[in-house]
Structure 1
Amino acid sequence: MLRAPGQRHARAWPVIVLLSVDAVLLATLELFYLPLRLDGVVLPDAGDAPLPLSALVAAVTTPLLVTTAERLASRRLAVVPLLVWFLTLLVLGVAGPGGDNVLLIDWRALLLFAGGALPAAIALGGSLGRTAALSART
């Protein structure tokens, strides 16, 4: 069944807004749980070793946000949740609540940015590659 172009466009914006709100919430939680350590306070004691669990969460969730946006909205708008996630990390990390600097200046911050942005960029590239391959066949 063919749909009018306006129907798909009208349906895309609520999905993108919802996924962007989800990206803001995920980025906030990932940033605030970045200093998590195995120090015996919250997690078991393992010699006060850092545990960048939020980088793993970012590596799983940001590609899901991008692929969901691509599948439900459009390929052009699929980058919006990734940009919102990235900007949220920057804004909250540098000028956090009360003007605090929440972003750690060590390898965990780099791992968080890379763990979230690289898999999502690969998912976006795969989507654009499929589009190019389909248009080349026709």
Structure 2
Amino acid sequence: MTGSWRVVFLLLLCVEAAVLAVLETFFLPLRLDGLVLPRLGDLPFPVTVVVAVVTTPLLVQWASGLSTRVAAAAAPLLVWFFTIFGLGFLEPGGQGQFLLGDWRTLLLIAGGAMPGAVAVGAVMARNAANRPGLYETAGIQ
């Protein structure tokens, strides 16, 4: 695959991360209230947190297959993260109540960012293992 196609696929992964962030944010307030989902005591049903836990590390792994650079692997995660925060600050009212107003929002941010960051760390470790001698360990003589 040529370099230009890799850039195109990386941009598509970033667009996919932004679309997933928007959908995860919009469907975060789902409740078991009988309107969209069955009625089971009006409980919150943050299924989009599970979607974020699964998809953000998957996008990072796909991006790492396109390039050995850590910045390229982290690009979908960064796009997802900044899209979530952009939606949080550009909400109607504009006071950032979406980000701090509910436990489900914090769970979404943690559920998407933490597994994605672990996947970026795995890419960094794989890069360090594939290039011995390039990275020096700290404190070991």
TM-score class, shorter: 0.7 to 0.9
What's the secondary structure of 2:98's corresponding residue? coil
Structure holding more helix per residue: 1
Q: Tell me the CA shift for residue 131 of structure 1.
A: 1.5
Figure out how many residues of one structure are paired with residues of the other and give that number: 132
Q: Could you tell me whether the CA contact under 8 Å between 1:62 and 1:120 is conserved in 2?
A: yes
Deviation digits for residues 61-94 of structure 1, max 9, x if unmatched?
A: 1111100000123333111111110111111122
The residue that corresponds to 1:129 in the other structure is 125
Distance 2:64 2:21 in 1: 20
Cα 1:100–1:30 shift into 2, 3 Å = farther
The residue that corresponds to 1:91 in the other structure is 86
Cα 1:75–1:36 shift into 2, 3 Å = same
Deviation digits for residues 39-74 of structure 1, max 9, x if unmatched?
A: 111111111110110110000011111000001233
- TM-score for the superposition, normalised by structure 1: 0.85
Aligned-residue identity in percent: 50
**1:72 is matched with which residue: 49, 52, 66?**
66
Q: Tell me the CA shift for residue 98 of structure 1.
A: 8.6
Structure 2 unaligned regions, length at least 5:
135-141
Distance 1:52 1:72 in 2: 32
**4+ residue stretches of structure 1 with deviation over 6 A?**
none
What's the secondary structure of 1:103's corresponding residue? helix
Distance 1:36 1:100 in 2: 22
Report whether the alignment pairs 1:114 with 2:110: yes
